[in-house]
A = this chain, B = another copy of it.
Amino acid sequence: MTSSATSHARSRHVSARSNQQHARLQRIYALRTREERQRTGLYYVEGLRFVAHAVQHHIPLETLVVCHSLLDHPFAYRLVQQQKQLGTPVVEVPAAVFRDLSRVLEPQGIGAVVRQRWESLEEIRPDAELCWLALQTVNSPGNLGTMLRTSEAVGGAGVVLLDNSIDPYDPAAVRSTMGAIFSQRFVRISIAAFKRWKQHHRCMLVGTSPSAPHDYHAVTYQRPTLLLMGEERKGLPQELQALCDIMVRIPMVGETDSLNLAIATGIMVYELFNQSRLNNNPC
């Protein structure tokens, strides 16, 4: 091969690599939409905390995205080296490209494409954990992420998402979980199938509503507990209230007609957690 032919082949090789990289990045950008996340079963996480959490939870990374000029943590370097040795595809990008891909003000130069985890309701054993959340309508992905973070804090198992409600793998939801996205568990099921499941499985399905008869703090919760949290202000629709073993209210004074949904969930799961702690360590 002549020198000119070698140079030509190299440039063709570089161009093919660059095209492949461009296509990969386009696929990552596309994961911002729910449609693409649903189509591929993938999502994108960014930041050292998130990538390290995924690795800790033995969640295989489909692709690692690295920007060396932004990466300044020795631990991050080691993580990248380990992933290369494990054969994880690594896309190296310049700072401008990484910033473009990023949704934070000060990107840390590391991100990863990760496979979503979903389970069927038949697979879960709700009695093994403190509680499961069940949700139909959550308007803010950030709120959902915060609920998962709080569930993790009390040893809650995860969330049963009814019908086609909010996507926990939305970037804003993922960010608000602070890493709980990798340990919390996810089930998506139709309300009809949930109703059937409920008929054949022993559990305490607790619904919340501002006008419910029972004070949440005066109820003894029994495992397995499923906490069905309704929409802010609107509460739970009748068909779901009818399914609950008990409806409880979180009392409020003044003119307040509702709590933020993540706050209400936090108050409920800490009530369950406190009761469980007192039972395990009686005073």
Query: Closest B-chain residue to A277, C-beta based?
Result: B251
Q: Tell me the bound Cα distance from A150 to B260 in angstroms.
A: 8
Q: Are A179 and B255 in contact (CB under 8 A)?
A: yes
A256 within 8 A of B: yes
B-chain residues with CB within 8 Å of residue A258 when the two chains form the complex: 178
A240 within 8 A of B: no
| A264 CB, nearest partner CB in chain B, Å | 8
| Stretch among A118-126, A152-160, A219-227 lining the B interface | A152-160
| A61 CB, nearest partner CB in chain B, Å | 19
A247-266: contact bitstring with B at CB < 8 Å (1 yes, 0 no)?
00011111110111011001
Q: Are B260 and A149 in contact (CB under 8 A)?
A: yes
| A200 CB, nearest partner CB in chain B, Å | 30
A116 within 8 A of B: no
In chain A, positions 38-78 with a C-beta closer than 8 Å to chain B are 53, 56
Q: Are A217 and B253 in contact (CB under 8 A)?
A: no
Q: Are A154 and B266 in contact (CB under 8 A)?
A: no
Q: Tell me the bound Cα distance from A270 to B251 in angstroms.
A: 9
Partner of A153, one of B56, B146, B259, B274: B259
A267 within 8 A of B: yes
B-chain residues with CB within 8 Å of residue A183 when the two chains form the complex: 254-255
Known contacts A251-B277, A263-B266, A267-B270; decide if A256 and B217 are in contact (CB<8 Å).
no
| A82 CB, nearest partner CB in chain B, Å | 20
Q: Tell me the bound Cα distance from A178 to B255 in angstroms.
A: 10
B-chain residues with CB within 8 Å of residue A274 when the two chains form the complex: 217
B-chain residues with CB within 8 Å of residue A260 when the two chains form the complex: 146, 149-150, 176, 262, 266
Q: Are A149 and B251 in contact (CB under 8 A)?
A: no
Partner of A259, one of B150, B259, B277: B150
Known contacts A149-B260, A258-B178, A260-B149; decide if A155 and B266 are in contact (CB<8 Å).
no
A110 within 8 A of B: no
Known contacts A263-B262, A267-B267; decide if A256 and B180 are in contact (CB<8 Å).
yes
Known contacts A217-B274, A274-B217; decide if A146 and B263 are in contact (CB<8 Å).
yes
A-B complex: 6 closest residue pairs judged by Cβ atoms: A263-B266, A153-B256, A153-B252, A155-B253, A146-B260, A267-B270
Interface on A for B, CB 8 Å cutoff?
Answer: 53, 56, 146, 149-150, 152-155, 176, 178-180, 183, 217, 250-256, 258-260, 262-263, 266-267, 270, 273-274, 277
Q: List 10 A-B contacts (CB under 8 A).
A: A146-B260, A146-B263, A149-B256, A152-B254, A155-B253, A183-B255, A217-B277, A259-B266, A262-B262, A267-B270
